Amino acid sequence: MQTQRWFNQTQPQTLQIAVFLLYMNAVFALLFGLDPEFALLFGSATVTLLRLVLPAAYAAGGYGIANERRWGYYAGLAAAILPLATRLLVSVRYQINPLDYNLLGLLFDVALVALLVHPQSREYQKIWFK
């Protein structure tokens, strides 16, 4: 009988930290909302939808990775890339330096993507995830 878990200590350290950051991002997105660049790029209806979908994608990605599910890895990766892509599009469209706003958020977004695409994480995911 397989147990469902919120955190898997048998996974590589890169995936363990990524799961923690996905859960942390989900909580922060629920408590503090989305970054202001989402409002610049998308309409208000889309931002309202993203306020619900993005935290759910973060949490689902973390839970899926902890339970070694391939869909969880891809959900977490998509949720991690979306804020970086949005920041890049806003920077290009409005000619804003991406380092001018929320530098700490940028650091955590880059770290999360780096942890998920790290060769150790990708190899573990290819071999063990269902």
Would residue 40 count as lying in a domain? yes
Would residue 5 count as lying in a domain? no
Distance CA 130, CA 122 (A): 13
Would residue 101 count as lying in a domain? yes
- What is the reported pLDDT for 2? 66
- What is the reported pLDDT for 58? 96
Would residue 4 count as lying in a domain? no
- Helix, strand, coil tally for the chain in percent (to 5): 80, 0, 20
pTM: 0.89
Q: How many CB atoms sit inside 10 A of residue 52's CB?
A: 11
Would residue 8 count as lying in a domain? no
Would residue 3 count as lying in a domain? no
What is the arithmetic mean of pLDDT over 72-82? 94
Would residue 7 count as lying in a domain? no
Instruction: For residue range 88-101, list pLDDT tens digits in order.
Output: 888 888 888 877 77
- Domain span including residue 109: 13-128
Domain total in the chain:
1
Would residue 1 count as lying in a domain? no
Instruction: For residue range 25-58, list pLDDT tens digits in order.
Output: 999 989 987 777 777 777 777 777 888 899 999 9
Nearest alpha carbon to residue 59 among 118, 127, 3, 7: 7
